[in-house]
Amino acid sequence: MKYRLTNIAASLFLALIFSTQFSCVQEIPKKNYLNLADSVDYVGAETCKSCHYDKHKTFSHTGMGLSFGLANRTKSSATFHKDSVLYDAHSDLYYHPLWKMDSLLVNEYRIANGDTIHKRTESAAYIIGSGQHTNSHISNENGYLHQLPFTYYTQEGRLDLPPGFEGGFNTRFNRKIGLECMSCHNSLPKFVLGSENKFDEVPLGISCERCHGPGEIHVSEKMKGILVDTSKFIDYTIVNPGKLSPDLQFDLCSRCHLQGNTVLEEDKSFFDFKPGMKLDDVMNVFLPRFKDDERFIMASHVDRLKMSQCFINSNDELTCITCHNPHLSINATPKVVYKNACYSCHSDLKEHENEQGDDCVSCHMPKSGSTDIPHVTVTDHKIAITQHMSLSESKSVKEFIGLYCVNNSSPSDLTILRAYLQQYEKFEKENYYLDSAFVYLSKIPLEMCTSEWIKFYFFSLDFNGLVNWFERASFESRTDQLNNRSYTNDDAWSWYRVGESYYKIQNYEKASTCFEQASLLAPFHLEIQNKFGMALLKCNRLKEAQKVFEFVRSENPNFEKVYANYGYLYTILGEFDQALIMYEKGIALNPDIVQLWMNLAAYYLHFQNIESAQNSLSQVLRIKPNHKRAQQLLNQIK
């Protein structure tokens, strides 16, 4: 993926003025769009704007146009004041967002006996979300992006934890914003290969080429005066979604408006889909199906629409743009547009309109909450005669039917296997997903699913089983099987899981070898690097471990997990002052890491500072009341 950041808008405009006097070439139909080729560059929205000013002007006010931006007062839809304080009872932490000039900060703090015993301040670099439903906030530390622990829900004017942080799952400042998230909520970024969440460059909002494809060829031909009468012909230098087949229109919208368990095809990434392509050539999106379940997630527009009898009976002619103009905000679209879309098929229902009013949508596509985003109401895109479920029915336990691929009626067994493993890993730790995965593992030749067997053993917590299975082949052959650097770090993760299994059974030499392989494939994956350093530490390879820990800390000083390990390394080296600095830095970032307090207690005991050691051990028991080692030590030194 490449961007050409050239200032050609003015020259393009002038070229068009003169070229249109001399040349209007009627396009000869071609089989494929020319801008699907990997060699075609993106030119940026400002270039598009020079000819399509009217479209750009209205699009910039849509949900997509406002999807992402710098964290400033202009972008923010929130109202923050001195009493805008959020309390998370599960973690006993407060959050107070506040403006300092045009910068948005958030204070995290904890209070005990009237005193502030912890305080951490982070700044928001970006705001994600148009403000139609939410504004969430992202920090940037040396290119590593993380979601901050507060969201403003605009429909209710409410400050609360972000989706997924509630109910005891507050990850504070540690939720990574990776390529999958960024590639839908924004234009395509410059992502650092071998990382989870490091970016060299982040655009500011979804732009024209996300739906039209790269514009280099289109711009080049127009500047040369090669024009196409688009009232008669298709211009194959750029994708016009309205000229795509209904299936390809759905695939384009599904790329981001079909959220679920996304399984990439072999050697594909979230960069690879372009408008005009079949989505299942790049990815397949799965959702769990439960018996008699009408619940839905927020970005389920395509899935729900395809359940509608209106869609089923339309011979696939009903698509998103039947009702929606992507260049015009929903808020600016007159209701008559939606009504006329209904009447294009239901013109016989004029009498019904007189009885029920002229708003089809409010009855047949009612607004409701979603299962994944609190405090929002969204339009259910399953067009139907609604039957309301009682609260007890909606919350009752549903019978699991299976995973369903929304955009592909016949995914391969390997794709389905990967879907079940991902569903367990990313969404729900339910054993029936692993049971289903095993059924597909048993069908597929072993050489086709090395990574999948590793996942299965690892997710099943069968570390000995994984090690025994892995050692059926030589290390060299495993290296040949798992040697691909990718945006998803799949092979790096496989080495990590094998390394972690060796680590669990205390074979630290082999663990360090596997973690090293993982770190070579994903050098900017700080979780992997930190674990590699821990294994080196266990093997007494202290200088190598120090080099790894220093790299992690220099890459992201806010990476909390490194400080317990780095401090312990300094203790072994006899550099106690440096050890204390590491422990205190880690605790300032996160006062709820058990190992930091345990290491700090050991530090104080070394210097016979019993009172401070007791305090550190008490902190361990605050976090983990049944920690046996802390209880034993505390009893010994009382």
**Residue 357 confidence (pLDDT):** 63
**Per-residue pLDDT band at 343 (split at 50, 70, 90):** confident
- 168 sits in the region (left: phi over 0; alpha: psi -120 to 50; else beta) called left
**Per-residue pLDDT band at 392 (split at 50, 70, 90):** low
Look over the chain and give the mean of its residue pLDDT values, rounded to a whole number: 90
Q: State the burial class of residue 635 (Cβ atoms within 10 Å of its Cβ: 0-12, 13-18, 19+).
A: exposed
- Single pTM value for the model: 0.90
Long-range contact set of residues 612-620: C-beta below 8 Å, sequence gap at least 24: 613/637, 614/638, 619/591, 620/594
Q: CA-to-CA distance for 538 and 503, rounded, in angstroms?
A: 9
Q: In the predicted model, is pLDDT for residue 300 greater than 90?
A: no
CA angle 369, 371, 373 (to 5 degrees): 75
Q: For residue range 96-141, list pLDDT tens digits in order.
A: 999 999 999 999 999 999 999 999 999 999 999 999 999 999 999 9
**What type of residue sits at position 22?**
F
CATH 1.25.40.10-classified regions of the chain: 420-637
- CATH number of the domain at 420-637, please? 1.25.40.10
Q: State the burial class of residue 131 (Cβ atoms within 10 Å of its Cβ: 0-12, 13-18, 19+).
A: middle
**CA nearest 379: which of 349, 348, 335?**
335
**Residue 344 confidence (pLDDT):** 82
Q: CA-to-CA distance for 220 and 165, rounded, in angstroms?
A: 47
**Per-residue pLDDT band at 28 (split at 50, 70, 90):** very low
Span 48-60, average pLDDT? 94
Write out the DSSP string of 201-238. E--SS--THHHH---HHHHHHHHTT----TTTS--TTS
Residues 6 or more apart from 327 whose CB is under 8 A from it? Answer: 55, 58, 59, 62
Q: CA-to-CA distance for 627 and 503, rounded, in angstroms?
A: 21
Q: For residue range 226-247, list pLDDT tens digits in order.
A: 999 999 999 999 999 999 999 9
